[in-house]
Amino acid sequence: MALGIGCSSRPGKAPNNKTGSWRVFKPKFNHEKCTKCGMCKTICPEGCIEESEDEFFIPNESYCKGCGLCAEECPSDAITMEQEEK
């Protein structure tokens, strides 16, 4: 593959870096408590929280770093952090 001129690159390659492997804790979403407010998706620094077809929110495990911010900020306490099973 040819190098991008002057160290340039087209978008699309960052997702090759699967930051999910950094995780020690993992957010667990309790859909019963969730009010679908969308806060978790807004504030996740990874931008890795997806809205599923039934409008619930789920983290993309390939990228979630397990920082715990979503769990801390969820107004309904619908997210808990659990030890990652490796």
What residues line the site for ligand SF4 (CB under 6 A)? 27, 29, 34-40, 44, 46, 48-49, 57, 59, 64-70, 74, 76, 78-79
x/- mask, other proteins, residues 22-61, rule CB under 8 A, reads: x-------------------xxxxxxxxxx--------x-
The least CB distance from residue 34 to other proteins, in Å, is 16
Q: Would you give the DSSP letter of residue 73?
A: H
Distance (Å, whole) CA 72 – CA 74: 6
Distance (Å, whole) CA 52 – CA 44: 16
The least CB distance from residue 50 to ligand SF4, in Å, is 10
Q: Among 16, 41, 31, 25, which Cα is nearest to 85's?
A: 25
